[in-house]
Amino acid sequence: MANLKELNKRKELLTGGHRMCAGCASPIIIRQMGLSQEVPLVVGSATGCLEVSTTPNPFTAWNSSFVHCAFENSAATVSGVEAAYRSLKRRGKVKDELRFVALGGDGGTYDIGLQSLSGMLERGPRILYLCYNNEAYMNTGVQRSGATPMGTQTTTAPVGKESIGKKQFPKDLTAIAVAHRIPFAAQASPSHWNDLITKSQKALSVDGPAFMNVLSPCPLGWGYSSEKTIEIAKLAVDTCFWPLFEVENGATWKLSYKPAAKKPITDYLKAQVRFRHLLRPENTAVVEAIQKRVDDDWAALCKRCGVEG
């Protein structure tokens, strides 16, 4: 468990004055993750909002060392950094104790960077891969990704006379990571900061790869006003649309949070412009399908975690 008083004394990973949008969850997530550590971090990121906004040459918002290479290779790039660290430490050229974090948005993780991520998880270096998941290609203007929820309005899967937005459900990337039987995998949300920080601590303490999939609400792409980010993230958790859990060694599933009363998915949908069209009467069946998927997934997760749903 993280202690606020202690966390207050720690150094922030990002400076103020980075150029992320007001209300964007991803710098909040990165700062929460960074506060979990006293050991210095070396961070790598895929191309995306976070990368372009925090490193416009000649400025950087990173207090740690930071590397960006390309879009689909955050995991491979940081694998190289970590390999260099082990080699140079063995050869007596590096003395400091360091930890390594690879970042990517959902596009850089679920889609174009999946192979690189899978390779890293299979090889087993001691790296935390954290996906800040805003459920679409936000940096290029809200195009659909493999993480975009079914029924979402996006610019490449728009709502129209013949379309409800994105037709498919997203892939279950956390389960894909778990299937690599890595020491630690988890889902987290910035609304549950203590849980996120505690999971980051665990993820960076295991001797091997760790994966965290963190929901990252995006005011611009999701369509809500910027002060509501944490509220929206909390609604995703309380509707069980984004459950919080962790899995050790691909086998031990643990539910991190169970809402006292599971809220209906419509509470979540109606709070965001990207889902607004679903509330029209002709789309009732779509909403029912989404609710059913949430219910089924939640029941399956509770069963895996040995918790009553």
Partner 1 sequence: MSKKLLALTGNDAAAYAMKQINPDVVAAYPITPQTSLMEKFAQFVADGEINTEVVLVESEHSAMSACVGASCAGARVMTATSSQGLALMWEIVYIASSYRLPIVMPLVNRALSGPINIHCDHGDAMGIRDSGWIQLWAENAQEVYDNLLQAIRIAENSDVLLPVVVNYDGFIISHAIENMYIYDAEEVKKFVGEYKPKYTLLDPKKPTTFGGFDLPDYYFEHRRQMAAAMSGSAKVIADVGKEFSKICGREYKFTEGYKLEDAEIVIVALGSTVGTARAVVDELREKGVKAGILKIRVFRPFPEEEIAGLLKDRKAVAVLDRADALNAVGGPLFDEVRGALYKKSNAPVVNYIYGLGGRDMGLAEINKVYGDLAEIAKSGRVANLVTYLGVRD
| 123 binds partner 1, rule: CB under 8 A | yes
| 87 binds partner 1, rule: CB under 8 A | yes
Residue 208 sits at φ, ψ, to 5 deg, of 160, -170
Task: Give the binding range for partner 1 (CB under 8 A) out of 65-73, 155-163, 259-267, 286-294.
Answer: 65-73
| 137 binds partner 1, rule: CB under 8 A | no
Minimum CB–partner distance for residue 54 and partner 1 (Å): 9
Residue 94 or 255 having the CB closest to partner 1: 94
Question: Which of 6, 22, 119, 227 touches partner 1 (CB under 8 A)?
Answer: 119
Q: Which amino acid is at 19?
A: R
Task: Give the binding range for partner 1 (CB under 8 A) out of 49-57, 150-158, 264-272, 286-294.
Answer: 49-57
Total binding residues toward partner 1, as defined by CB under 8 A: 48
Question: Which of 32, 55, 191, 229 touches partner 1 (CB under 8 A)?
Answer: 55
Six-digit token string for 303: 């069963």
Residue 52 or 175 having the CB closest to partner 1: 52
**CA–CA gap between residue 309 and residue 78 (Å, rounded):** 38
| 176 binds partner 1, rule: CB under 8 A | no
Answer for the pair 218, 224: CB distance below 8 angstroms, yes or no. no
Minimum CB–partner distance for residue 19 and partner 1 (Å): 10
**CA–CA gap between residue 258 and residue 64 (Å, rounded):** 35
| 171 binds partner 1, rule: CB under 8 A | no
Please state the length of the chain: 309
| 173 binds partner 1, rule: CB under 8 A | no
Contacts of 236 (CB under 8 A, 6+ apart): 189, 191, 215, 217, 242, 268
Binding mask 27-46 for partner 1 (x = CB under 8 A): -------------x-x-x--
Based on the number of CB atoms within 10 Å of its own CB, is 38 exposed (0-12), middle (13-18) or buried (19 or more)? exposed
**CA–CA gap between residue 78 and residue 88 (Å, rounded):** 15
Task: Give the binding range for partner 1 (CB under 8 A) out of 81-89, 156-164, 172-180, 251-259.
Answer: 81-89
Answer for the pair 116, 75: CB distance below 8 angstroms, yes or no. yes
Minimum CB–partner distance for residue 214 and partner 1 (Å): 22
Answer for the pair 211, 177: CB distance below 8 angstroms, yes or no. yes
Minimum CB–partner distance for residue 108 and partner 1 (Å): 12
Minimum CB–partner distance for residue 94 and partner 1 (Å): 5
Phi-psi region of 17 (alpha: psi -120 to 50; beta: other; left: phi over 0): left
Six-digit token string for 37: 């550590």
Task: Give the binding range for partner 1 (CB under 8 A) out of 93-101, 176-184, 208-216, 292-300.
Answer: 93-101
Six-digit token string for 90: 């063995």
Minimum CB–partner distance for residue 192 and partner 1 (Å): 29
Among residues 33, 50, 49, 63, the alpha carbon closest in space to that of 214 is found at 33
DSSP code per residue over 139-175:
TTTSB--TTPPTT---SSS-EETTEES--SPPP-HHH
| 83 binds partner 1, rule: CB under 8 A | yes
Question: Which of 25, 81, 188, 247 touches partner 1 (CB under 8 A)?
Answer: 81
**Where does this chain bind partner 1 (CB under 8 A)?**
40, 42, 44, 51-52, 55-60, 62-70, 72-73, 75-88, 90-91, 93-94, 96, 98, 115-116, 118-119, 122-123
